[in-house]
Amino acid sequence: MRFRPEPEAAQAAGGRTGVLLCNLGTPDAATPAATRKYLAEFLSDPRVVEIPPALWKLILYAFILPTRPRQSAEKYRSVWLPEGSPLMVYSRRQATMLRGYLGERGHSVSVRLAMRYGNPSIASQLDALRAEGCTRILVVPLYPQYSGTTTASVVDAVVQWAGKARHVPEFRFINRYHDDPGYIGALARSVQQHWQAHGRPDKLVMSFHGVPERTRQLGDPYHDECQATARLLAQRLALKGDEWVITFQSRFGKAKWLEPATATVLEQLGRQGVPRVDVICPGFPADCLETLEEIAMEGRDSFKAAGGKEFHYIPALNDSPVWMAALADLVQQHLQGWPTRAEREDATAR
């Protein structure tokens, strides 16, 4: 059968409204086998690696997957929480709290969490929303800055699922929120709270995930949106030009990536004798391997080895109340015009 039969709940008149939060993904366990499975899916996405498929498949399976999973698994073990992967733990909390925040505002909507790579998959969570009777679904990629390598890949997965659906729900997507006042305010508040507890640094480093420079040349807006986020955050914190710097982390492969590189800048600041550096990763709404291991551990070690004295990593927004309120505001804005069950019940009562 080419198209799936529809669940009984999805055939009911009217239908529910659903929200699908999407993050990047994580291995199911901090083991080489689980990490290999995750990396194979992640690095096979043509949105992530724009190399001719036949050539890239050879490189991936002959050179990367035989060695990298074991190295990555060791890094995951260094940040793994008792409840599991930090990214999964915090993302689940975000989904649960978002449902509660929306409920307090009178919205009865289904909220589910999906991962672009790994579990729970986007397809499985869309199936679950349809089984709950959702005929309208707001897709929220948890990437503040739009990139074809991330946000567009989520859209690809949703479209692929829809291609097999008999009754395709009405979809909306939040493509970006890099300059959303609530998001910027939540970032500023997290920095201010850290400084109230630990004092101010000599330099604030704003580190974003890197992408190949070629994507920028081909029209990807990611670099410009990172710059906009950094400027807005600096303005909200009333920072002078020499008090902050924007950098890009997580370089992979030999191609030229967005610069300046976070690791390079941290080493330079250490050699220059900058006493204290604080690092925040505005593009990561939940802590994960790239923030907790690459920045809070490797970045700290690089800075101190180069002569730096004091290093602070400012945690991601995670499940902070100010961020969850901002996320609820953002979702509520994009739900406008769609009925929720609570709103329909109020209308019937009147």
Residues annotated within the binding site are: 209, 290
Residue with tokens 């907790």: 292
Contact 278, 244 (CB under 8 A): no
Q: What is the sign of the dihedral through the CA atoms of 237, 238, 241 and 242?
A: negative
Percent composition of the chain: helix, strand, coil (DSSP 3-state, to 5): 50, 15, 35
* Residue closest to 23 by CA, chosen among 110, 97, 89: 89
Check whether the bond before 221 is cis (ω within 30° of 0): no
> What Rg do the C-alpha atoms of the chain give, in angstroms?
21
Check whether the bond before 260 is cis (ω within 30° of 0): yes
**In a 10 Å sphere around its CB, with 0-12 CB exposed, 13-18 middle and 19+ buried, how is residue 273 labelled?**
exposed
CA–CA separation, 189 vs 193, rounded Å? 6
Going from the C-alpha of 299 to that of each of 5, 207, 210, 288, 295, the distances in angstroms are 51, 11, 15, 14, 4
Token pair recorded at residue 255: 């191609």
Q: Which residues are known binding-site members for Fe(2+)? A: 209, 290
